[in-house]
Amino acid sequence: MTKFTILMLASFDIIYNNKIMNFYERESTMKNFIIRLLSTVLPFIFVASSLFACSRKNDEFGKNKLSVSNFRIIRPDNASDKLREGIAAFRTVISDYTGLRPNVVTDYDSDMILKDEDTPPCEIIVGQTTRSASAKALESLEASKDKNEYSLGYDGKDIVIQGETDYAVMYAMREFLINYVIPANESGIFLINENEPFSKTGSISSKISVLGNLYTVETGIESVIQSVSTAGVNRWPTYGRVIELKHNENANGTLLATSQWSGNTFPIYCSKDEGKSWKLLSEVHEMLDTSVISNWQPEIYELPNAVGDMPEGTLLLAGCSHNKPDVTSTKICLWKSSDLGKTWEEISVLDVGFGSKEKNGVYEPFLICDEDGTLVCFYSDETEVHDVGGQRLVFKTSKDGINWSEKKYCVAPTQKYLRPGMVSVAKMGDNGYMIVYELLGDKTEGGPVCFKTSDSLTEWDYASVGTRLTSTGGDASGYTPYCAWTPDGGEYGTVIAAGRRAGPTPSYNDQSKLFLSFDLGKTWHVMDNPLEYDYNQSSNANYAYSFGFSVGSDGTLYHINNVFPKNQAQKYKSADLQFVKIKITGF
């Protein structure tokens, strides 16, 4: 029963007891009673009709609130694609919260509609429209030097959401939804106002990105792990990987990082202050075969469960060992550490190939445990190139980290000219697995990043080339990808994936934009990489071979990439392996 109905019944009860009884005592005609009855009830009927459109009333907690049950959303006729996507998400969240689905019309169309409306509904005016309310709100913002300001307020019965940039407007829409829209048991959007009038102003931080679905991505600590002079050939850190320890009791929370660089080892760096500072902890080198060196494509991993004689929390490092300078031999090797990365022991060789010169080597390992706790290593395999025509993505399993199964395919397209590579894997909570990889071979396609999913880590439709990673706005990712999953960001968590290049298909630019999916890969949203990638095209210095992601115990994403120092005087003279924390927030 609605409050209005209760109010009506209570009023009628008052009328009955006070008016009808008095009627028999003091009134002599029914006419007087009817007049008195109507004079009491009609004001409530009038109020009820006004409540339907837009009204201000008190709730059970005594707070002022604006109830909007009949309204439309007004956007600029020339709104950018990004803002249109944000407004569509804004409408969807309102619908999910309240059960209402308002119309979205442009300021031009709404002006035409207004001419034919006797009683126009409430309007939520979003962005820099032609409405005078938009102009007034924008004028007040422009008085500030901060170009990231936004405001929420109302003009008459209309709600105005304004900002100086599209990102500011989108952040303002998000603030509106979080702070003022409450899921209702009855129809209507309820805006709770502690003060009169309803208003809010603020500024969006430069560390916050707003996605098309109005989720936010906030960057935190940024630091330099490793800095290397670019003098000489191939002297810069790349292929960075980082993890947070989660299975080592008192050492949990420690960060470990590694990379590929010009030395003959894999350096292991340690941070005990959440990534603010880093120290070189150890170096991992080839131990079983002194004719090769170990400095390609490292992958560091902490066992989440016991594997053979290795207890939970044992650290593993997989990498590619090779001979120099000819690179006629390659090996996928595995090391372990039982003392938090201080010392290492080489325990097995997973596979052996020739080298990049003959294009039949083995490269790019990735470690993960499956549902049963079995250790699985994915990698790139060129050893069958003469039979199948190109590189294929394969995996092997092990119950002890020493003895390995026969290899199985995960990506092995029938088109011989295609060359999948650089596979990484994300376990998406309880929703299966996703593998992300590059697909080379067709020069017209720009080396697209592709992905596919499976309920099982060891069962894949390997003949399929997968789905190209493309954002809702048409941007695609290309070359040298990596991926991870965090439970943050909604019901299905968030998959983050990216390659070296991004842009409209089929051409890509050398900029490492980040791609995020909140629905297990059905749709992708794109944002600028907080660790902006660049390289010296004349010398190829700082060429981004690969960069990494991992997830902390609280859902925070850790990102690692090779970038030039921000000091322009040092640009191209040295290159940094940098680290940043990323936090994703949905609704």
Is the confidence at residue 178, as pLDDT, over 70? yes
CA 542 – CA 69 distance, rounded (Å): 56
Q: How many CA atoms lie within 13 A of 320 on its CB side?
A: 28
Q: Which residue has the higher pLDDT, 101 or 165?
A: 165
State residue 5's pLDDT score.
Answer: 36
The lowest-confidence range among 57-61, 207-211, 480-484, 565-569 is 57-61
- H-only helix segments in 459-499: none
State residue 31's pLDDT score.
Answer: 47
- In the chain, where are the structural domains located? 3-51, 65-204
Q: Note the pLDDT tens digit of each residue in 328-375.
A: 789 999 999 999 999 999 999 999 988 665 668 899 999 999 989 999
The average pLDDT across 412-421 equals: 90
Classified as helix, coil or strand, 131 is coil
CA 335 – CA 401 distance, rounded (Å): 9
Q: What percentage of residues in the chain have a pLDDT greater than 70?
A: 77
C-beta separation of 585 from 211 below 8 A:
no
First to last CA, the chain: 30
Nearest alpha-carbon partner for 234 in 565, 542, 544: 542
Query: How many C-beta atoms surround the C-beta of residue 19 within 10 A?
Result: 16
CATH, domain range 65-204: 3.30.379.10
CA 136 – CA 123 distance, rounded (Å): 16
Q: What percentage of residues in the chain have a pLDDT greater than 90?
A: 52
Q: Burial, 387: exposed, middle or buried (Cβ in 10 Å; 0-12, 13-18, 19+)?
A: exposed
Q: How many CA atoms lie within 13 A of 397 on its CB side?
A: 13
CA 141 – CA 135 distance, rounded (Å): 10
Chain centre distance of CA 580: 14
Nearest alpha-carbon partner for 368 in 322, 465, 460, 434: 434
Query: How many C-beta atoms surround the C-beta of residue 138 within 10 A?
Result: 18
Is the confidence at residue 166, as pLDDT, over 80? yes
The average pLDDT across 172-177 equals: 93
Q: Note the pLDDT tens digit of each residue in 65-114.
A: 555 667 899 999 999 999 999 999 999 998 888 777 888 999 888 777 76
Classified as helix, coil or strand, 377 is strand
| Whole-number average pLDDT of the chain | 82
Q: Which residue has the higher pLDDT, 152 or 565?
A: 152
Looking at the DSSP bridge assignments, the partners of residue 557 are: 551, 582
ω into residue 487 within 30 of 0, thus cis? no
State residue 14's pLDDT score.
Answer: 33
State residue 291's pLDDT score.
Answer: 80
Q: Note the pLDDT tens digit of each residue in 197-231.
A: 567 899 999 899 999 999 999 999 999 998 877 66
Prediction pTM value? 0.84
Query: How many C-beta atoms surround the C-beta of residue 72 within 10 A?
Result: 16
Looking at the DSSP bridge assignments, the partners of residue 58 are: 64
DSSP state of 535: -
